[in-house]
Structure 1
Amino acid sequence: MAAYTGTRGCDDVPALSDSDEEQWQSMEEGSEHITVPCLLCDRTLASVSETVQHCKADHGVDIPALVQKHRLDDYGYIKMINYIRNTKFSAESLLLTSNGPLPWDSDEYLKPALADDPLLQIDVEELSEVTAVTLSPAADDQVSLLLQRATQAEDRAQRAEEALARAMDDLHKLKLLAQGLVLNTDTSRGPSRSGAIAELREDEDEAYFSSYGHYSIHEEMLKDKVRTESYRDFMYRNMDIFKGKVVLDVGCGTGILSMFAAKAGARKVIAVDQSEIIYQAMDIVRSNKLEDTITLIKGRIEEIGLPVEKVDIIISEWMGYFLLFESMLDSVLYARDRYLAEDGLVYPDRCNISLAAVGDTQKHSDRIAFWDAVYDFKMTCMKKAVIPEPVVEMLKPETVISEPVVIRTIDCGSVTVSELEFTEDFSLKITASTFCTVMFSTAPDCTKTHWKQTVFLLESPIPVKTGEELPGQITVHKNRKDPRALLITLDIAGRKQTYSLQ
């Protein structure tokens, strides 16, 4: 529909004859007796306005709002009306219609379902106005004003939601920046940075902490006597270190180290863990009547606040496969730089990563050479998938064919996060003439632990002789896609292979 203005004046309009006036009057009278069938029931209304109001009041369907929601033009509006009349579309289905492909999109619904349908004789621009025709001018203005305010409020709400999302993202970035500033001001310990673990959002790190929510992993660790008794004996034999001190247990799990510390004389122990196991730890602490000494806090150490400014001692069982797997040491170092007093101590205080050579032709045959002929079929391409994955298992001590060499010593009181990624040259002194098939870390000739050994399989055995020096280089760094995983590259005897420990 359109409106036109011209230059012709009222004096130029020809007057109506008596017969014309009678015909016009008859048309007006006829229009007053218009009836409009409801879209959604059998009721008939006296006007388009009443029909629109009836649909909204009795069926909960606001036709003008639907037009606006689906951004319908005149043709889209006509299709919708005809579709509803043709298919007897229910009010519930109409309200649930999404903004995707509309069921009335087909041109077949341009054909009127009802002859001379009054609802088709109004365009979409006038639709929102017809509902107010029975209102007084003052009420009409008031309704228009309210609609305008509602529209403005909806726009403001949408903009506020978008601004809130941006603000939350900015807040996360500022939080990381603030952490960096706090760490950088601690000049007494030298430069340090929070690292990739601290930068992970809680939802990104959920899988890691969920894995520690089940009892089985804690049962395995508690039954590891080498691990658990070493911590207990250290604390019980050094009670003078713990007596009267404030101790922070990072990643407390069931709270076993916290309880050792309390029994060793600590004045206060703060135990922190993000996994769900901390709720069992709370019950365990109460069952052992240590709740007055031990305070448990659920959360990531990088995100929570402690009830004290500084602690005297930090204890943690952070070691993973190949020592650094899972990157929990990053969190311990964050706690050290943020909460440890000037003369505070971190335990364990010193750790080594060692490397040795293994000659185990049977293992190489089972894991690598196996793919050369599988039921008479060649599957050598599978080696590319097998070799890059280190194997965590117990090795037979008699298969070791070199003296172990320390490739990295970590001083937990001074090391920085960046120093946990490194490249080191090494040289292995061969003690038996055979074939070197494997490289591994963590000594196999000691009591078995749940850490076992991390084994790096070589694609092809390297022939070695007693007394020979086998030089190489190892590079360790975090996987940028998963900072709790490690990428380890071994370059030995001219052969280079990268392994993914994840």
Structure 2
Amino acid sequence: MDSDLSSTSNGEIIDKAVDFANYFCTYSFLYHQKEMLCDRVRMNAYYNAVFENKHHFQGKTVLDVGTGSGILAIWAGQAGARKVYAVEATTMANHARVLVNANNLQDVIEVIQGSIEDITLPERVDVIISEWMGHFLLRESMFDSVIYARDRWLKPTGVMYPSHAQMWCAPVRSDLCDEKSNDFEGTMADWYHFIDDTKFNYGVDMSILTNPFIKETKKYCLQTSMWCNLHPDQVIGSPAMILGIDCSTVTVADIIKFTTVFSSIIIKEEDTRLCGFAGWFDVHFRGSRADPAAKVIELTTAPSEENGTHWGQQLFLLDEAKSVSKGDELSLTLTLERSKENHRLLEVHLACGIVKKVAVGKKFYIE
């Protein structure tokens, strides 16, 4: 049975202006930047992409969209860029300026505080570099700003860093499926105890609110997807690419909402449990057709035994695990769209048919 519920983070309606204020406030703290700077997969990929492809930077103009601490702008400068415009919406721009000066690149890098949509550059650029990816790639909608920057400021011969992105989905097993179901049952048991206690001690019957509480609790316990770093052994079926993005041509309309139909084959030798699906992404630094990379670099957030990332994977759990066997084919339809209440967040609807077995499906919200 497909569930078509729509939810917001923890069942709450979030004021967009307040949420964006919180978003920019969070990114203005060094502790948040440090989390990303300590992600070796992230750091190594960008570092290698720049320094293995110096020909894209030497003597060139570069725009860093959402520079944060300024690390990507600094690398571009160290790789020989003539000029780097490092744009940052938050007060982290102040720290970026200090860092640029401390690394003696103040004559090359200009840190500009403001939204990319609101600032004006004196020239078009040869390269746009940005670390815009959110959980399950598109959460936070920062890619919109990169697309705007590309259309407004990138030369026709310019290159995008990264140049391509892909979203993936695969069936998985996880004990979290049982834990989330137990959380739901425990929360509901506590609610019924609360109703009895309130009526007995205070003479007020709260049972009329049971149905909305059930709906709210289902959204929180059963429909809100989870961030995790899975072990590769937990992937029980063949991964499928659900979206491919060419960063030089993609439009905002392409990523606001999309539906894809795909399949996966169970690959585990033994009978196992289908507990849900994991979503992740990878990006590539390939340059452009006219000016390809000397060395293509990949950054992947796929399940890994040793190389987890701060993005991890997004885990979409079923309400109840299903028994599957090697060779079983899963036929899936996935629809992803931005939340109507807050376009930084995502709603995902997954419908899965197991060949000669039951069909399951539900809608998730990435908080």
TM-score band, normalised by the shorter chain?
0.7 to 0.9
Other-structure match for 2:179: 366
Residue-by-residue CA offset, 1:93-129 (whole Å, 9 max, x unaligned): xxxxxxxxxxxxxxxxxxxxxxxxxxxxxxxxxxxxx
Q: 1:275 to 1:327 in 2, by over 3 A?
A: same
In structure 1, C-alpha distance between the alignment counterparts of 2:327 and 2:133, rounded to whole Å: 33
Alpha-carbon separation, structure 1, partners of 2:222 and 2:185? 14
1:496 maps to what in 2?
361
Q: Secondary structure at 2:331's aligned position in 1?
A: strand
Q: What percentage of aligned pairs have identical amino acids? A: 37
CA 384–230 in structure 1, closer or farther in 2 if over 3 Å, else same: closer
Match of 2:202 in 1: none
CA contact (8 A) 1:368 1:383 kept: no
Structure 1's unaligned 5+ residue stretches are 1-199
Shift of 1:222: 0.5
Structure (1 or 2) with the greater helix fraction: 1
Q: Distance in 2 between matches of 1:261 and 1:496?
A: 45
- Residue 248 of structure 1 deviates from its aligned partner by 0.1
Unaligned regions of 5+ residues in structure 2, if any? 1-14, 193-212, 281-301, 354-358
1:450 aligns with 2:310: yes
- Aligned partner (choices 406, 426, 438) of residue 276 of structure 2: 438
- After TM superposition, the score normalised by the length of structure 2 is 0.78
Instruction: Output the TM-score relative to the length of structure 1.
Output: 0.57
Q: Which moved further from structure 2: 235-244 or 486-495?
A: 486-495
Higher mean C-alpha displacement, 364-373 vs 470-479: 364-373
Which of 331, 346, 350 is residue 160 of structure 2 equivalent to?
A: 346
Give the aligned partner of residue 290 of structure 1: 105
Q: Which residues in structure 2 correspond to 1:214-233 (within 5 Å)?
A: 214-233=29-48
Correspondences of 1:139-218 after superposition (within 5 Å): 205-218=20-33
Residues 204, 389 of structure 1: CA spacing in aligned structure 2 closer, same or farther, 3 A cutoff? closer
Secondary structure of 2:223's counterpart equals coil
Q: Distance in 1 between matches of 2:125 and 2:157?
A: 10
- Change over 3 Å in CA distance of 1:426–1:219 after alignment to 2: same
Larger relative contact order (CA 8 Å, sep ≥ 6): 2
The answer as to whether partners of 2:351 and 2:361 remain within 8 angstroms in 1 is yes
Residues of 2 paired with 1:377 and 1:479: CA distance?
A: 30
SS of the residue 1:392 aligns to: strand
Which stretches of structure 1, 4 residues or more, deviate above 6 A after TM superposition? 200-204, 374-380
For 1:315 and 1:333, locate their aligned partners in 2 and report how far apart those are by CA, in whole Å: 11
**Number of residue pairs matched?**
301
Q: For the structure 1 residues 201 and 468, does the alpha-carbon distance in structure 2 shift closer, same or farther, using more than 3 Å as the test?
A: closer
Q: Distance in 2 between matches of 1:378 and 1:462?
A: 28
Contact 1:246 1:267 in 2 (8 A): yes
Deviates most, 224-233 or 488-497: 488-497
**Higher normalized strand content (fraction of residues):** 2
Is 2:275–2:320's contact at 8 Å kept on the other side of the alignment? yes
Shift of 1:203: 7.4
Query: Compared with structure 1, are the counterparts of its residues 240 and 468 closer, same or farther at alpha carbon in structure 2 (3 Å cutoff)?
Result: same
In structure 2, C-alpha distance between the alignment counterparts of 1:385 and 1:205, rounded to whole Å: 22
CA distance in 2, matches of 1:313, 1:213: 25
TM alignment of 1:363-442, pairs within 5 A: 363-372=176-185, 381=214, 382-420=217-255, 421-432=257-268, 433-442=271-280
Distance 1:343 1:500, change over 3 A: same
Pair 1:248 & 2:107 matched: no
User: How far has the Cα of 1:461 moved from its partner?
Assistant: 1.4
Any conservation in 1 of the 2:184–2:222 contact (CA below 8 Å)? no
- After TM superposition, give the deviation of residue 204 of structure 1 in Å: 7.0
